[in-house]
Amino acid sequence: MKKEIPRELSVEKEAYQTSISAELSENMKILRTHFTDCADVLFTQFHTENGLNACMLHLRGAVDVELQDGNVLAPLKSSKVDPEGSIETFKAYINVSNVYELQTIGQVLHDVLGGRSVVLFDKVHGALTIGLMRYDTRAVEEPLAESVVRGSREGFIESTTVNTSLIRKRLKTPALKFITFTVGTYSKTELTLAYIQGIAKPDVISKVTERIEQIDIDGVLESGYIEELIEGNTYSPFPQIQATERPDVAAASLLEGRILILTENTPIVLIVPATFWSLMQSPEDYYQRYLIGTLIRWLRYTFFLIAMLAPAVYVAVLTFHQEMVPTTLLLRVAKSREEIPFPALVEALIMEITFEALREAGIRLPRQVGSAVSIVGALVIGQAAIQAGLVSAPMVMVVAITGISSFMMPQYSASIALRILRFPIMILSGFMGLFGLILGLLVVISHLCILRSFGVPYMAPIAPISLSGIKDVLIRAPINKFKMRPLFYSQGNTKRQGDKPDEN
């Protein structure tokens, strides 16, 4: 199903309404005007065996030239078609299945710029568009950001055609639907909406469709544009849309009743709705034994709190609540801070900002040296800062534990939210102690509870409480216990599996 959003350039509006003339010269004049200074658009003029003039348009490097010459141009050149015939008669000579008729100049512009080959004939109304696209793409490989020990090694790439085939490979059902949109006045980027009919909620599908149709932008270069344009609360640090590069995660989300948004020219697929708990889950949780999955999930929750609160607790206790620290430990920490010229808050801010700078530098540098800079750099700078008397050894240890804890997050976008929230909570702790920490934590929890992702509560199934959904949040229950789909995602066919047969 093809559904285009009318966002055409002003120079193309008239062309979209202009019918293809029976005079080839007139059509060529209009098309050459639109394609002025477009060196990548090739016009190949030829004539049939009985002398009928024709012209083929295509983009350089976007089509399979060998297939085009052998299966399109050669048969048409040897054809003997009545010049007064219809465009339909020429289709029989083309040895390609993906052939359609066009009736307007605007359709010709759209298809040529989309990578298709278009043929126009003299004395014939209409044109033929042939799908011979062959863009160079990289091979399907495991995504680096979502690697697993056990699981599929396939990942999405920059081709929507390949990505949809990877999803269809895992869900061989006609209930899996793909709806295509076009967004971007200049980029005309193709978006593909995927869902399973009978499982996904119709109102969520309508809401996603409506928000996509409201997009009015000059170009979409990556799925991050779409994420910000359609999410409900743009100013929240927490992502309300999940992103993945893994086809198995995408397929599992579809089976839960969620919706995928695939964007042309990017391997990142968006999943809606998203909840806080879905961002804390890894596909490997379901590929290992359920006890291991539960243990790792609880480790993840624990280190989430450590990553967000550890520096704030350290600053609050040393600044306002020294009585809470055992005497021996307090004396050791006090001794390490004897020559430190900064209060605990400033010391923590210096180390946290330095660590964030090293982490960002490690990402931007070439892969071969990036990891060395982020890890070795942190160790060297930390040791040098201690020897220079700028920071204390316990502070370096707290920052290191905080950094390692943030790496436990399966979703990079969730770890970014942690990195953002860590600083205001730490500043509140530096001025108000544990009261400031608790105040900041309450603000974060309140924000999470009122946040929604396409109508679904962000903290579901914890707030509001849903006993049937807790078995996939607080623990990872055995697979045979997942009888029903999550009710906050799905509607209609909510049953996932039948009863387990009796074992004799």
- Encode pLDDT of 184-224 as tens digits: 989 999 999 999 999 999 999 999 999 999 999 999 999 99
Answer whether 249's CB lies under 8 Å from 227's CB. no
What's the pLDDT band for 6 if we cut at 50, 70, 90? very low
Answer whether 276's CB lies under 8 Å from 459's CB. yes
Answer whether 448's CB lies under 8 Å from 238's CB. yes
Per-position DSSP letters for 463-480, written without gaps between them: BTT-HHHHTTTTS---GG
- CA-nearest of 358, 410, 356 to 380 is 358
Answer whether 187's CB lies under 8 Å from 219's CB. yes
CA 219 to each of CA 125, 181, 186, 191: distance values in angstroms, whole numbers, following the listed order: 33, 14, 6, 12
Token duo for residue 17 = 């309404």
- The CA distance from 243 to 261, in Å, is 10
- The CA distance from 282 to 286, in Å, is 8
CA 185 to each of CA 8, 111, 224, 400: distance values in angstroms, whole numbers, following the listed order: 6, 15, 17, 47
Q: Which amino acid is at 420?
A: I
- The CA distance from 441 to 439, in Å, is 5
- Encode pLDDT of 34-77 as tens digits: 999 999 999 999 998 888 999 999 999 889 888 999 999 999 99
Top-confidence residue, 421 or 364: 421
Q: Which residue has the tokens 């009545």?
A: 82
Answer whether 458's CB lies under 8 Å from 275's CB. yes
- The CA distance from 124 to 129, in Å, is 14
- Encode pLDDT of 223-245 as tens digits: 999 999 999 898 999 999 999 99
Answer whether 324's CB lies under 8 Å from 317's CB. yes
Token duo for residue 442 = 């309450």
379 Cβ contact list (under 8 Å, min separation 6): none
What pLDDT score does 490 carry? 87
Q: Which amino acid is at 335?
A: K
- The CA distance from 423 to 75, in Å, is 69
- CA-nearest of 332, 416, 378 to 145 is 416
- The CA distance from 240 to 458, in Å, is 8
- The CA distance from 239 to 461, in Å, is 17
427 has a pLDDT exceeding 70: yes
What pLDDT score does 14 carry? 64
**Please, what is the end-to-end C-alpha distance for the chain in angstroms?**
49
- Encode pLDDT of 145-195 as tens digits: 898 889 999 999 999 999 999 999 999 999 999 999 999 989 999 999 999
Residue 379 three-state SS: helix
Q: Nearest 5°: CA angle at 379, between 374 and 381?
A: 90
Answer whether 89's CB lies under 8 Å from 20's CB. no
- CA-nearest of 394, 390, 351, 359 to 376 is 359
Whether pTM exceeds 0.85:
yes
- The CA distance from 413 to 240, in Å, is 10
DSSP bridge partners of 44: 56
For residues 4-29, give the mean pLDDT: 71
What DSSP element (H or E) covers 191?
A: strand 189-196
- The CA distance from 459 to 40, in Å, is 50
Residue 398 three-state SS: helix
Token duo for residue 140 = 């399907």
Per-position DSSP letters for 280-291, written without gaps between them: G--GGGGTS-HH
Domain limits of the chain? 10-130, 144-274, 287-457
382 has a pLDDT exceeding 90: no
At 260, phi and psi to the nearest 5? -105, 145
At 101, phi and psi to the nearest 5? -95, 145
At 191, phi and psi to the nearest 5? -110, 140
- The CA distance from 222 to 27, in Å, is 35
**% of the chain with per-residue pLDDT over 70:** 93
What pLDDT score does 13 carry? 60
308 has a pLDDT exceeding 70: yes
Answer whether 242's CB lies under 8 Å from 270's CB. yes
Tell me 97's DSSP state: S
- The CA distance from 454 to 79, in Å, is 55
260 has a pLDDT exceeding 70: yes
Token duo for residue 328 = 């021996």
- Per DSSP, helices labelled H in 35-191 are 65-68, 74-77, 105-113, 160-170
What pLDDT score does 501 carry? 54
Residue 422: how many CB atoms within 10 A of its CB? Answer: 21
